[in-house]
Amino acid sequence: MSAGPCPLTVIWDDRYREYDFGPGHPFSETSRYLSVRLLESSGFFSGAMGSAPRHLDQVEVATDEELLRFHEASYLELVRSVGAQRRPGMLDQGDTPGFPHCHEAAARIAKGTLVGLQGVLDHPGSHALNPGGGLHHARPGRASGFCIYDDVALAIRSALDGPGHLARVAYVDIDAHHGDGVMYGFYEDGRVLDIDFHQDGRTLFPGTGFTQETGKGDGQGLKVNVPLLPTAGDSAFLPLFDRLVPPLLREFRPELIVLQTGVDAHAGDPLAHLQYTPLTYDHAISTLHELSHELCEGRLLETGGGGYLASNVSRVLARAAGILSGRPFGTDPSGPLPRSWREEFERETEDEAPTTWGEVPPIYPSSWKDEHSAKLLSALSSELGRKL
């Protein structure tokens, strides 16, 4: 099964980089910027690989009306007030600092994901990628985990309750950190299937996402958490993804698929330890690309997410654009990266740039065994009340 070439819009406004927690903070939009610069340096938007994907580079700030689809009015006022202070304070209990004009910066990224959503709703058969989005921890009334406004939750809510009035949305999250803001935001909503692969919450923030968290009320049985042990790697992820995701999506029959691609699960990330290689990301994205055409007229919205090693984030998200467009590039692991991009990478990060598409940091032996998969699938089957 192959979906073939597909219209794609990549949404990136350089003002996304104003979402900046300051020197020394692990989260930076610079690595997402470098993914778009890698696309540009590789001729992706020039039409050299066929019909040119679209690059939307001007994004406005989301309106209060749009943000209030998921967030509380009092929280918007808090973010505004913190961003207006001479010395902005914290937006949560410790890891999400405020910064000047943080409301506008966060609302612009949220708007980018909403623009991508509207594009795939207006043009069936097309995809959209917002590398700067995927801020999946924010709750309706508070920031969390470097996330101020939850752009993916806003997109899901807008797809369901906005002009499109979709009946069913599938959300797939492969970030190393559990997407708690999204899951709890739709925990009782039977219109949202949430499948979340992440590092076990006993070993990593936010400490949620266990197999017994399966939803409530109308949402019961539609929240599927797949916690993995540190160092699990591709050998754990790939068979579980193939075992769970395609059949669950085919059963649910979504009208839209939303993917959060957190690259913090990649080998070498300094904050998480799942040790995926590009093979995991390429496979997950290509599978969902094909399933979107099979199930929901190609409606697929992809965002970035976590990821704290720029060499990983930039290359994974650039390859994602190639896969979504049906014109993959960078698939030769030994293929060289553009010299101009490598020079820019080193100026922006002050780190040595990778030289090839497939260069991967050291990988440690996986802790994952066949019995771990069997135990996990048994627990999920028991909690969800069906054989998986």
Give the pLDDT confidence of 171-196 residue by residue, as tens digits.
999 999 999 999 999 999 999 999 99
pLDDT by residue (tens digit) across 195-247? 999 999 999 999 999 999 999 999 999 999 999 999 999 999 999 999 999 99
Query: Pairing state of beta strands 192-199 and 169-173?
Result: parallel
Q: Is 137 a catalytic residue?
A: yes
- On whether the pTM is more than 0.75, the answer is yes
**Catalytic residue (one of 137, 198, 266, 273):** 137
**Peptide bond before residue 328 is cis, with ω within 30 degrees of 0:** no
Neighbours of 254 (CB within 10 A): 25
Q: DSSP 3-state helix, strand, coil percentages of the chain (rounded to 5)? A: 40, 15, 45
pLDDT for residue 162: 87
What residue ranges define each of the domains in the chain, with the CATH number in brackets? Answer: 8-384 (3.40.800.20)
Classify residue 92 by its DSSP letter.
S
Contact yes or no for 99/22 (Cβ under 8 A): yes
pLDDT for residue 48: 54
Residues in the chain predicted with pLDDT less than 70, given as ranges, are 1-4, 47-52
pLDDT for residue 333: 83
**Alpha-carbon separation of residue 78 from 12, 82, 136 (angstroms):** 26, 6, 19
- Where does residue 22 fall: left (phi above 0), alpha (psi -120 to 50 degrees), or beta otherwise? left
Contact yes or no for 127/8 (Cβ under 8 A): yes
Round to whole Å and give the CA distance between 388 and 378.
8
Torsion of CA 65, 116, 196, 19, to 10 degrees: -70
pLDDT for residue 1: 41
Could you tell me where the DSSP H helices lie in the chain? 30-41, 64-67, 73-83, 102-122, 151-161, 180-185, 234-252, 278-295, 310-325, 339-349, 370-384
Classify residue 330 by its DSSP letter.
S
